[in-house]
Amino acid sequence: MSEAVKIKRGVRQGCVMSPAIFNLYTEYIFRTIDNIPGLTVGGININNLRYADDTVLLAENEDDLQKLVNIVKEDALLHFIKKNLKSKT
């Protein structure tokens, strides 16, 4: 068996508090973009979809999408959340 590895930063995997802490931070971040237009479905503005640690940003046009990305990116950096921006089509 190998020696124990000391964790220097980040959230320990398997910690029961990890999902709750992550959800608190992300909920705060996504409340800052509530007023930015996304797609309207049934009269409701939807500019993001989230499942676990995955997020999809939605917008009517490229400018609004870029605005959403910039705000989320800046807020994530302020709260020390590492982002992995991927484009899926």
Mean pLDDT, the chain, integer: 80
14-57 pLDDT per residue, tens: 677 778 888 888 888 889 898 899 999 999 999 999 988 788 99
The predicted structure's pLDDT at residue 46 = 95
Closest CA to 53 of 87, 23, 76: 23
Rounded to whole angstroms, the Cα distance separating 86 from 66 reads: 14
Residue 43 lies in domain: 18-78
Tally of structural domains, the chain: 1
The whole model's pTM is what? 0.67
Q: Is 69 part of a structural domain of the chain?
A: yes
5-18: burial string, b at 16+ Cβ within 10 Å, e else: eeeeeeeeeeeeee
* Residue 16 main-chain phi, psi, to 5 deg: -65, -20
Q: Is 84 part of a structural domain of the chain?
A: no
Q: Is 65 part of a structural domain of the chain?
A: yes
